[in-house]
Amino acid sequence: MPSDTPQPDFVLVRPQMGENIGAAARAMWNFGLDRMRLVVPRDGWPNSSAVAMASGAGRVLDEARLMGDVAEAVADCHYVMATTARARGLTKPVLSPERAMQVAAERIAAGEKVAVLFGPERAGLENEDVSKANAIINVPVNPAFPSLNLAQCVLLTGYEWRRAQGGITPERVDMARADWAEQIEVEKLAEHYETRLEDAGFFFPEHKAQGMRTNLRNMWSRMPLTRADVQMLHGVLRQMVRWKERGD
């Protein structure tokens, strides 16, 4: 059975190649989506090429629902969006993928069932398909080359769904088995360097010395140092001092 996680149903309309169905399944499962509906796949269903391409996302294919036409595929849905590069002369809201998945998230949270239509590889959705949708999803691609591969479009939409769920952290630092240095550790490092630089006559001339010390402290405070970094910088300075003393 598909998971109970609230999510839109992705409807592949008349997909032509089993490989693209499998790739779409992988793209869906990358973002935790597992509700696929298939409308009249050209090469029939099940499809061994789709299974081979799915590679780890077979559960999506196992639970995929085979439909006779688009009307049947969306019959139980409250809101339907169609992915297409062209509005095709139909008056409908046209949403970016980001906004579309925000709308999907809002409606699903309110208890509605949402479906997203993806067209066949060669020419995309037909007007009759799009006419059954409440809104259009339009990807801002190069107008000179607007065609997207089926799996690419599924992947992009799945990513925006994940973003709408707050499941993507904009930035992080992988600590690689290290902890951030505490302020006292950075302070001790600054004192170590100031002491050795003082011995070396670095703070000269005297009337600029305090400003140089302040700039040095400011530099340390700007650096995101780990405890390993602090230990290494202490070691660097100790070794340089030993090297100088041996040279003397």
Listed residues 164, 194, 224: the one ending a domain: 164
List Cβ neighbours of 137 (8 Å cut-off, separation of 6 or more): 81, 82, 83, 84, 94, 95, 96, 97, 100, 116, 157
Residue whose entry in the numeric block shows the structure tokens 């067209």: 119
Q: Which of 31, 95, 111 is nearest to 103 (CA)?
A: 95
CATH for 88: 3.40.1280.10
> What's the Rg (C-alpha) of the chain?
29
Contact assessment for residue 98 and residue 163, using Cβ atoms and an 8 Å cutoff: yes
The pairing of strands 9-13 and 114-118 is parallel
Cβ(180)–Cβ(225) below 8 Å: yes
**β-strand partners of 117:** 11, 82
164, 199, 233 - which closes a domain: 164
**Nearest residue to 33 (alpha-carbon basis) of 46, 22, 24, 21:** 24
* pLDDT one digit per residue (tens) for the chain, 248 residues: 778 889 999 999 999 999 999 999 999 999 999 999 999 999 999 999 999 999 899 999 999 999 999 999 999 999 999 999 876 678 999 999 999 999 999 999 999 999 999 999 888 899 999 999 999 999 988 888 888 899 999 999 999 999 999 867 788 888 888 899 999 999 999 999 999 999 999 999 999 999 999 999 999 999 999 999 999 999 999 999 888 788 66
Please give the model's pTM, rounded to 2 decimal places: 0.77
For the chain, what is the domain count? 2
Residues 90 and 207 in one domain: no
pLDDT at 168: 74
Identify whether 103 is part of a domain.
yes
Range of the domain at 216: 183-247
Residue 115 shares a structural domain with residue 191: no
Q: Are 139 and 94 in contact (CB under 8 A)?
A: no
Cα 144 to Cα 30: distance, rounded to the nearest angstrom = 29
Shared-domain flag, residues 207 and 92: no
Coil, strand, or helix at residue 39? strand
